[in-house]
Amino acid sequence: MKIVVVYKSITGFTRKYAEWITEELNADIFKREEVSVDKLFEYDTVIYGGCLHAAGITGVNIIKKNLVQLKDKNIIVFVTGASPFKEGLIDEIRGKNFKERERKNIKLYYFRGGFDFNKLNLTNKIIMTLFKWKLQSIRNKTPDEKEMLAAYEHPVDFTKRENIKELINYVNSLM
């Protein structure tokens, strides 16, 4: 089975997961910017990784816009975010990113990434500064909100190779 991993990563957390998955599955790997959909037709299984930006999955349109042409492929999407995993998060992400008819063809995973403000580009720095101000204005902050605020001062990396286990087992079950 030919497997490809395509990813979009700005600060490196999604890239790390993409590289681990590639190693485990002996797949080919491309940055989102390097491939067009034609390349994906060469594979049986397409794994796409993006990061959460205001609940949206960056770069996932390459999958969404081409679902008809990719209908015979196994399609897996993984998402990284700064927030911890919580019950219902996958359904939330699925609901915000995929229409009803798109959902049944896509297997979705969430892996906790990290946060590194200094590695963001200017636009994202501005957006995240606005978000920081919003967090600062909250009176009774939750532990997660406090942790997020602290991460602006000291970058945090929650990536763990073991997080990809379930995805790897799923792909292996397809062979």
Rounded distance, CA 49 to CA 79, Å? 6
Element (H, E) at 28: strand 28-31
Among 77, 81, 163, 164, binds ligand FMN (CB under 6 A): 81
Site string for ligand FMN, 9-38 (x = CB under 6 A): xxxxxxx-----------------------
**Stretch of residues binding ligand FMN (CB under 6 A), selected from 4-12, 27-35, 60-68, 96-104:** 4-12
Structure tokens at 144: 């997660």
User: Rule CB under 6 A: which of 50-79 touch ligand FMN?
Assistant: 51-55
Taking the CA atoms of the chain, what radius of gyration do you get in angstroms? Answer: 17
Give the up-direction half-sphere exposure of residue 64: CA atoms within 13 A in the CB hemisphere: 15
Residues that bind ligand FMN (CB under 6 A): 9-15, 51-55, 80-83, 113-115, 120, 124, 127-128
